[in-house]
Structure 1
Amino acid sequence: MSLRRVSTPLAILLLGLWLGQAARAVEVRLTADGDDTELGEALENASLTVEARRADPPPEAQDLLAAARADYARLLGVLYAQGYYGGVIHIRVDGREVADLPPFGAPARIDRVAITVDPGPRFRFSRAEIAPLAPGTELPDGFAAGKRARASLIEQAGRTSIAAWRDAGHAKAALADQSVVADHDARTLDARLRLDPGPRLRFGRLAIDGRTRVRPERVHAIAGLPEGEVFSPEELQASTERLRRTGTFRSVALREADAANPDGTLDITAALVDEKKRRLGFGAEYGTTDGLTLSGFWMHRNLLRGAERLRLSAEIAGLSGETGGIDYSLGALFERPATFTPDTALYVLGEISADDEPDYKQRDITVGAGLSHIFSDTLEGSAGFLVRYTEIEDDLGDREITQLSFPVSMTRDTRDSELDPRTGTYLSVQAEPFVGLDNPENGARLYADARAYRGFGERVVVAGRVQMGSLLGASADAVPSDWLFYSGGGGTVRGQPYQSLAVDLGNDDSRGGRSFVGLSMELRTGITRSIGVVGFVDAGHIGDGEVPGEGGDWHAGAGLGLRYDTGIGPIRLDVGAPIQGDTGDGVQIYIGIGQAF
């Protein structure tokens, strides 16, 4: 498409289509009197004829003709949206105006379609008024006298003003009258809108529409609709989201009643469709050192007819790997939403596991319970207690540990995607104070994981990650071995062997450290829409003291990765090698779903 200035009125030739037995080349050229490239792009993007021509295989004649007929209204809408109210549109099929073709006399073959648009002069607002306005309403910047009279601004001003009244509790605010007059001689537009805010309303009764298996009292408790309080679209959306995140419903829609009740309340109807009660899932991940990990789960979504979830899970890790032996785990997790508050859930868990790692063997039985709470769309936290019995075999000797711990965590997540983030940040902070039930040593384990993402253009993303951990107040032999810190492998330093960096005890003995620092940086670049490459550098530090980064040793790895976007998340292939430290040599390969972090 070329753009050049001519003295004739603006004429846009968006498309020339040549169709024979096979598809022919199409020339798309924009010739403009002026420099309004935004208009040309908007017209081309809106044209169904242009879109149909790009289809593979090429469209049939009747489909192309239908697209051309629809383009009159679509292109006129673009002109109005851009502030042009005197435009002339011609769409010709083999030289004949599409609007003049008889409905039942369509040609059997189309060789050429030409779309020509003369937008005419650009209009400006002579008046731009909307009233009454709710306190604090912020109208669009361009909706003012003297500004370019885009029809889209009038629509946006109306939506913004009605939304402001609804935010103030006027649920039935609506457009009562409008006057939009174009003066073609003066090239101006007079726009005046009159709103009817309606009365300020309160939330009424929540009714349930649909044959859900969840008990009505539990639907009310989960939704948490504040009946009797002033109407709020934000509260209505929050109730909708609470019902959705239970995972019990396939679809959730909260609809406002058409009219308010005489007492000034507005009833809400929850239209619910249940998901299947049971779900079965499987997963797999492979690394050259870590080996193959297989996992699976069975879940019941509505165990006691209160949207309670019971999840039974199993995992086998380390198959054909170099991480010691094979690890096993069996777990059960029960969750009950809307416990104490609509945003608070109760959980009860139990797990049996056996880990065969390079530096230790460990068997665990864990039971516990707690509460999780969602503070906002980006912030959530949890607190609870765990009782854990552990049998350990490592270089410190064989021992048994029983402890009571109180895990607390907070997570703030502003990423635009969990599997393939381009912008935003992620911060997770965990603290787990513990009391030894069979020894006098007490303390706490701390861990933090911070990530940040920054996109440049459409295909370049820089991602960074910092991990820190510390064991406070207790010696290394007073806690389970998996509470100590190691570095190396897919979750810490790619290119270094799995858990290859630890605390050296001499005589070829080693154990995990009491502190940890992990640093990662990635440069992600898209080559095509589906294929991308990644360059990465990771570093890790393990120390024997409580302060992360002090004493101890560092090691690092770097490499390249390939990503294939599946639409759900990228398939990840990373190849890394050591660049610092003496904990490994050769390359390591990692395969999984989603970005590395």
Structure 2
Amino acid sequence: MLKSSVRVASLAALCLWILPDLAQAAEVRLTAPDAGDGFADRLRSASLTITTAAQQEATAQDLLAAAQSDYGRLIGVLYAEGFYGGVIRILVDGQEAASIPPLRAPSDIRQIDITVERNAPFVFSTARVAPLAPKTKLPPEFVTGNRAKGDLIGDATRSSIAAWRTTGHAKALVSEQTIIADHAASTLSADIQLDPGPRLHFGELLLAEESRESRVRPDRIRDIAGLPTGRKFSPEELDNAATRLRRSGAFRSVVMIEADRPNPDGSLDITARVTDAPPRRLGFGAELASLEGLTLSGFWLHRNLFGGAERLRLDAMIGGIGGDSGGEDYRLGARYDRPATFHPDTGLFLEARIEGNDEPDYTESKVEVGGGFTRVFSDELRGEAGIAYRYSDIDDDLGRRELQHLLFPARLTWDKRDDALNATSGLFLEVSLTPFIGLDQRSGDGARIFADARHYRSFGAGDRYTLAGRAQIGSVAGPSIGEIPADMLFYSGGAGTVRGQDYQSLGVDIAPGVRVGGRAFVGFSGEFRASVTDKIQGVAFVDTGFVGQDALGTGRGDWHSGAGIGARYFTPVGPIRVDIATPLGERAGEDLELYIGIGQAF
């Protein structure tokens, strides 16, 4: 009996200990008479009381502090929508929250009632910002007679100051503001006076104290940033300087700080605060296809090789492991990049590559050494051009031969996608042109051109559905097929062209028992992507491709197609892709190919 009594007493004590915490759970009610659901939702989102009451650990002191802060937060919502005569009441167990001393908070709060009365909306009796810089674009709603939303005043002021800064007046500011609410007439007068300040030009690029410890030399930081000292101040040029430093990859963070005051000569110094990124990086990748087998790749990267943000990247790849698409392929490569060479947006690169391809219709070993320049024209447009020597040792149905060429590769990329690994909107276009000159009698002169265009469009609630389309076209003009390196010709089939078809299964039969790549290629792919959850996406796709014997697609040639379904699982490094595809035509449904990788198919 004694033990049972002890247990009962302990249970009662436990309940008494828990009950005070349970008592802190307060009911919060918000009412907004004559306000639509959308406005009420904005009030609830702004209310700290509602957020605090939902927290189990919230105390009465926390609830009172939240209720007292809600006066200002909810008034901000009213002013933003043009209601300047609103009334806010917040009752804490029947007592106005503003009247409760913070140090005398009740030990228990059971109910908080929030009432927001908007009353009549106000309109602008005056809506003026002056003086204005040429081509200033004010919000179209910021005019006399329109709803006097508080956000419009801020937007108009910021737009006006930004316009002055664009014309070189870096220190433009508000010199005077007169904002008067006439409650009797329900009008608001907003008169903002600006002081543009002097027109300034860029001064020196200085380094913050902590940035002087950077492993990148100060002179190279200035070269890469490319701040146009002596030229008119421009916010765009300032952003470009910061972007160049970030784009170098040598820095983890970059902040550009304008001097508080201009120099007597009208120049404005800029201070760069940079933090170095880890100098080295190691990466790995893997892709699996049922026919092509396993492909493994890896790289080692040094971001600041000689103290000038030079990048050295070493790559290695082995593919075709366990596949039925020939033998194993390999690639070893090295690339050196030096930013800001001759121009802040121009970079120098040197590269060398050794590669071996054991494909269904040919084997080829090659060595390529070259270099050139890259150029960033804008955030979306980039280019690259160079010169390279290439040696190829080829064995195919035309026999064994060795070719030597001098290449002049050039590439232009226009990328307006919202995400390179998982695009849901935008355009992508890449065009490459490679003229080549044969260096011996067996190697021909000519040019190879290839274009890859992609378009993405999303629709539905929350852009749940995405349509993705891709078109590829290529041509090799000039020499005969035997005078062209085998991997510069075109094949179709596999993950990069037509899924469901065997890897490189479509080429050109130029004679009985003689099968080679074509000099013309056209491919189209379409995908319909639908989000199932935040992490999972379903995909249906169809691909088709054509390979022709001649540069213009004339002569011998053929089409093939494939279709399938897939799934994407989204991770921090990109979506994991799983696709199952079958050929279209006589073998539809009989053969299935599996593809696994990281990132969307295109």
- TM-score, structure 2 as length reference: 0.91
User: In the alignment, is the contact (CA less than 8 A) between 1:497 and 1:583 conserved in 2?
Assistant: no
In the other structure, the counterpart of 1:360 is 362
| Structure 1 range deviating more: 431-440 or 561-570 | 561-570
User: In the alignment, is the contact (CA less than 8 A) between 2:65 and 2:102 conserved in 1?
Assistant: no
Give CA-to-partner distance per residue, 1:392-411, whole Å, 9 cap, x none.
12122111111111001111
1:333 is paired with a residue whose SS is strand
Listed as ranges, the matches of 1:97-496 within 5 Å are 97-106=96-105, 111-209=110-208, 210=211, 211-439=213-441, 441-457=444-460, 458=462, 459-496=464-501
How far apart in 1 are the matches of 2:88 and 2:62?
A: 20
Shift of 1:226: 0.7
Shift of 1:569: 2.5
In the other structure, the counterpart of 2:3 is none
User: In the alignment, is the contact (CA less than 8 A) between 1:555 and 1:582 conserved in 2?
Assistant: no
User: In the alignment, is the contact (CA less than 8 A) between 2:303 and 2:312 conserved in 1?
Assistant: yes
1:580 is paired with a residue whose SS is coil
User: In the alignment, is the contact (CA less than 8 A) between 2:32 and 2:116 conserved in 1?
Assistant: no
2:244 is paired with a residue whose SS is helix
User: In the alignment, is the contact (CA less than 8 A) between 2:200 and 2:232 conserved in 1?
Assistant: yes
Shift of 1:549: 7.7
Shift of 1:68: 3.9
Q: Give the AA of the match of 1:33.
A: D
Q: Give the AA of the match of 1:456.
A: F
User: In the alignment, is the contact (CA less than 8 A) between 1:555 and 1:581 conserved in 2?
Assistant: no
Shift of 1:450: 0.4
Cα RMSD of the aligned pairs, angstroms, is 2.4
User: In the alignment, is the contact (CA less than 8 A) between 1:496 and 1:584 conserved in 2?
Assistant: no
| Structure 1 range deviating more: 253-262 or 574-583 | 574-583
Q: Give the AA of the match of 2:496.
A: G
Give CA-to-partner distance per residue, 1:463-511, whole Å, 9 cap, x none.
1110001111122221221111111111111121211111134655422
How far apart in 1 are the matches of 2:317 and 2:63?
A: 54
Shift of 1:315: 1.0
Shift of 1:215: 1.6
User: In the alignment, is the contact (CA less than 8 A) between 1:291 and 1:317 conserved in 2?
Assistant: yes
User: In the alignment, is the contact (CA less than 8 A) between 2:578 and 2:594 conserved in 1?
Assistant: yes
Which of residues 560, 573, 588 is equivalent to 2:565? 560
Q: Give the AA of the match of 2:258.
A: E
Q: 1:103 to 1:362 in 2, by over 3 A?
A: same
Structure 1's unaligned 5+ residue stretches are 1-18
Shift of 1:442: 0.5
Sequence identity, in percent?
A: 53
Q: 1:94 to 1:518 in 2, by over 3 A?
A: farther
Give CA-to-partner distance per residue, 1:331-369, whole Å, 9 cap, x none.
110000001110000000001111111111111111000
How far apart in 2 are the matches of 1:383 and 1:419?
A: 25
Q: 1:48 to 1:585 in 2, by over 3 A?
A: farther
How far apart in 2 are the matches of 1:71 and 1:288?
A: 61
| Structure 1 range deviating more: 287-296 or 159-168 | 287-296
Shift of 1:115: 2.9
Shift of 1:321: 2.0
How far apart in 2 are the matches of 1:164 and 1:345?
A: 33
| Structure 1 range deviating more: 441-450 or 470-479 | 470-479
User: In the alignment, is the contact (CA less than 8 A) between 1:310 and 1:333 conserved in 2?
Assistant: yes
In the other structure, the counterpart of 1:527 is 532
In the other structure, the counterpart of 2:58 is 60
User: In the alignment, is the contact (CA less than 8 A) between 1:430 and 1:446 conserved in 2?
Assistant: yes
| Structure 1 range deviating more: 37-46 or 285-294 | 37-46
Give CA-to-partner distance per residue, 1:407-446, whole Å, 9 cap, x none.
0111111111111112110000000000111225200111
Q: 1:110 to 1:584 in 2, by over 3 A?
A: same
User: In the alignment, is the contact (CA less than 8 A) between 2:336 and 2:350 conserved in 1?
Assistant: yes
Q: 1:524 to 1:24 in 2, by over 3 A?
A: farther
Listed as ranges, the matches of 1:504-543 within 5 Å are 504-505=509-510, 509-543=514-548
User: In the alignment, is the contact (CA less than 8 A) between 1:500 and 1:583 conserved in 2?
Assistant: no
User: In the alignment, is the contact (CA less than 8 A) between 1:288 and 1:590 conserved in 2?
Assistant: yes
How far apart in 1 are the matches of 2:281 and 2:375?
A: 25
Shift of 1:316: 1.3
How far apart in 2 are the matches of 1:549 and 1:114?
A: 79
Listed as ranges, the matches of 1:39-50 within 5 Å are 39-50=39-50
Shift of 1:72: 2.7
Select the structure of larger CA radius of gyration.
Answer: 2
| Structure 1 range deviating more: 545-554 or 408-417 | 545-554
User: In the alignment, is the contact (CA less than 8 A) between 1:517 and 1:549 conserved in 2?
Assistant: no
Q: 1:275 to 1:483 in 2, by over 3 A?
A: same
Give CA-to-partner distance per residue, 1:229-250, whole Å, 9 cap, x none.
1100000000010011000011
Q: 1:500 to 1:109 in 2, by over 3 A?
A: farther
2:296 is paired with a residue whose SS is strand
How far apart in 1 are the matches of 2:49 and 2:285?
A: 44
Q: Give the AA of the match of 1:279.
A: R
Asked if residue 86 in structure 1 is aligned to residue 99 in structure 2, the reply is no
Structure 2's unaligned 5+ residue stretches are 1-19
Shift of 1:52: 5.0
How far apart in 1 are the matches of 2:324 and 2:47?
A: 58
Q: 1:110 to 1:274 in 2, by over 3 A?
A: same
Q: 1:131 to 1:358 in 2, by over 3 A?
A: same
Shift of 1:289: 2.0
Which of residues 580, 592, 597 is equivalent to 1:592? 597
User: In the alignment, is the contact (CA less than 8 A) between 2:577 and 2:599 conserved in 1?
Assistant: yes
How far apart in 2 are the matches of 1:286 and 1:469?
A: 26
How far apart in 2 are the matches of 1:172 and 1:270?
A: 19
State the number of aligned residues: 576
User: In the alignment, is the contact (CA less than 8 A) between 1:390 and 1:401 conserved in 2?
Assistant: yes
User: In the alignment, is the contact (CA less than 8 A) between 1:422 and 1:453 conserved in 2?
Assistant: yes
| Structure 1 range deviating more: 348-357 or 316-325 | 316-325
Give CA-to-partner distance per residue, 1:149-171, whole Å, 9 cap, x none.
00000000000000000000000
In the other structure, the counterpart of 1:4 is none
How far apart in 1 are the matches of 2:52 and 2:575?
A: 30
Shift of 1:584: 9.4
Shift of 1:174: 0.4
In the other structure, the counterpart of 2:575 is 570
